[in-house]
Amino acid sequence: MLLHGAWRSFAGGAKEVTLEASTLREALDALAERHPSLKERLRDEHGKLRPHLALFVNDEDARLLGWENARLREGDIVHVIPALSGG
């Protein structure tokens, strides 16, 4: 997983985290386990992914791949990007 922007500071400055997972959900859970300060930033109090989170598997938007159910293969790169807003 590649952590972009503010996500790095929540993971102790880590830019890249190597994990083994077969789905995006498993990868995110493993990331939160390794860096507990990310848990509340990834999921709300009901366990749903926060809407300001942008996730990509390689260069494809994870929402188009099944979101948390997106299948991962060895070598895939998951990008965790803080969403930008404004005008």
Domain spans, the chain: 2-82
* Beta carbons of 57 and 76 less than 8 angstroms apart: yes
Asked if the model's pLDDT at residue 87 lies above 60, the reply is no
Asked if the model's pLDDT at residue 83 lies above 60, the reply is yes
Kindly state the average pLDDT of the residues 51-61: 94
pLDDT digits (tens, 9 = 90+) for 16-47: 999 999 999 999 999 999 999 999 999 999 99
Burial (CB count within 10 angstroms: exposed 0-12, middle 13-18, buried 19+), residue 42: buried
* Beta carbons of 42 and 17 less than 8 angstroms apart: no
Pairing assessment for the beta strands 78-82 and 2-3 based on DSSP bridges: parallel
Task: Answer whether 0.85 is exceeded by the pTM.
Answer: yes
Kindly state the average pLDDT of the residues 44-51: 92
CA distance 20 to 51: 25
Superfamily for 2-82?
Beta-grasp domain (3.10.20.30)
CA distance 62 to 76: 12
The per-residue pLDDT for 86 is 58
